[in-house]
Amino acid sequence: MFDSLYHYPSVLARHREGPSAEDRDRFLAHCADYGAAQTTLLRLAPELLLIARRIDVSGARMVRLEEVKAAADRWVGYQRRHHRIRSARFSRERFVQVATHWLRFLGRLQEPEQAPQAFAELSVEWARHLREERGLSAHTIHNQCWHVQAFLNWLSEQGGGLAELRLEQVDAFLALKRERGWCRVSMASAASALRSFFRYAGKQGWCSVRLAAGIEGPRLFSHEALPVGPKWEDVQRLIASTDTNDHQDIRDRAILLLLAVYGLRSGEIVALTLDDVVWEQNVLHVSRPKQRRKQDYPLAAEVGEAILRYLEQVRPRIRSRCLFLTMKAPFRPLVATSLHYLVSSRLKALDICCPRRGPHALRHACATQLVAEGLSLKQIGDHLGHRSAYATRTYAKVDLTGLRQVADFALGDLL
C-alpha cells in the first residue's frame, strides 16, 4: 500500500522503515478493500506511523485502552508545547480512534472487561429455553431478553433477589417505565416478557410459582388502531422526489420502491444480498425471519431498473455481498435504524403528515393501496408475508368502499 500512496523516496522510506511497517501496511490494505478513498488513506497512514512510534506493539503484547489514552495525552501535550494546536479535543479523539481500530484489527487491543449483568446466568438459561424448547426467532428472543434484563438490572440496583421477589416490586418497575414515557404497547410487551420469564423461573424454583399470574400490563384491543401509513398520492410524491442523478437519491429510490411496492420490513431490506436479485428470471428473494424461509416475488420493472441503476452507478465495489451499503467510506451494510432516518427525513422534507414516519408506515401504505385495488385479505397477507390472515384483518377497516356496499345492501333489504 505504501507504494501506491507515496512516490517521493524519502516519504516512502519513512513509512517503510518506521515501526510495525508490515502491520500498518496490512491495515491500510484492509481499509482500501472496504472502499476507503485515496485521500482517506493518505490521512490515515501518517496517523498510523505516529501511533506506532508512541505505542509499543512489538512482539505479541496486548495493549490496554488506558495505554492508548495515555499516549494520546502525551501527543496532545507535545503539540501544545510546540503551539501546533489550539484545541486538544479533535487531536486526542483522532489518535484514540485510529489506534483502537488498528489494534483491534491486529487482535492486540485488550478490551476493558464489561461489568457482569445481574442474574446473567439465569438470563442465558431462559434464552436457551426460548430458542431450543420453544423455537422462537432470534428477533423475538432478543426483544424478550431485553425487557427481562432491564428488570433484573433494576432489581439488582434495589438490592433484591428473585427468591424473595414480591409482585409489588414488579408493579413498581412497570410504573417507573410508564412515568418515563413508555407507551401502552411497550408496557404490554414488557409485562408479557416478564410473565413468560417468571412462569419459567417458577418451574425452575428460582421464584414463587404464583408470581407470573399476577403480572398485568395495559389491555390492548385487537386492531384498535387504523393503519398509520401516508396516502398513496404522498407515497408517489415521495418516490418521485428521488428521480434525480444524485447518488444518495439513486440508492434511496431503490429502497423506497422496495418498501412501497412489496411492503417489506426494514430488517428484510437490510438483509438483502446481491444473490437475492435473480436477473435471468426476474425474481426477488426475500428472507422472512418470522416464517424462517425465503419468499419469491416477481421483480417489478420499475424496482428492477432502480436497483440496477444503483448497482451500476452508485454501489461501491467492495467484497461485501449485502445489497445496500452506506454512502461514505468505510463502507458498511445498512442497518434498520438507517432506514428509519432515510424515510422519516424525506417525509419531513416533503411535509407529508402521518402518525408515524418510519419505514413501516410505507408497509401500511402498501397494504392500504392493495385493499383499494380490490385484492382479498388472503392475497394481501401473502404479499406482506403474514403467517396468518389474523394479522391482515386490520386493513379491512380501511376498505370504506366495501363497507359502504355492505351497508347499502343491508339497508336495501330492510327497506
Active site residue ranges: 265, 290, 360, 363, 386, 395
Which of 156, 185, 163, 164 is CA-nearest to residue 173?
A: 156
Parallel, antiparallel, or unpaired for β 63-64 and 109-110?
parallel
- Residue 157: Cβ-neighbour burial (10 angstroms; 0-12, 13-18, 19+): exposed
Name the grid cell of 46: 501518517
Name the grid cell of 56: 509499543
All residues at 6 or more sequence positions from 319 whose CB lies less than 8 Å from its CB, including other chains: 33, 34
| Run of H or E residues at 281 | none
d(CA 279, CA 389): 31
- In angstroms, what CA-CA distances link 106 with 64, 67, 111, 346? 13, 16, 13, 40
Which of 236, 254, 171, 167 is CA-nearest to residue 207?
A: 167
d(CA 121, CA 226): 42
